Amino acid sequence: MSTTNRQRLAWLGAAVLLVLHHDFWRERGVELWFGWLPEELAWRLAWMLLTFGYLVWFCAVVWVEDEAA
């Protein structure tokens, strides 16, 4: 994958995470998942795991040292 494509994918990923973080379309539920986990907490945990995966990918693939230097 070229540097330009990696940068575009990084910007797209950041935009998706931003939209997911401001989850204005979701209704706040009061139901429990797995019998003990509130829905809002589950959503936030899933968002944090997705963000962590994005940051790991970003640091490993996009944010690389310039080998020419």
pLDDT tens digits, one per residue of 45-67:
999 999 999 999 999 988 877 66
Q: How far apart are CA 17 and CA 15, in angstroms?
A: 5
CB count within 10 Å of CB 25 equals: 6
Residue type at position 20: L
Q: How far is CA 39 from CA 17, 30, 64, in A?
A: 19, 6, 37
For 2-56, the pLDDT digits (tens) are 888 889 999 999 999 999 999 888 888 788 989 999 998 999 999 999 999 999 9
Structure tokens, 67: 């080998």
Q: How far apart are CA 29 and CA 69, in angstroms?
A: 53
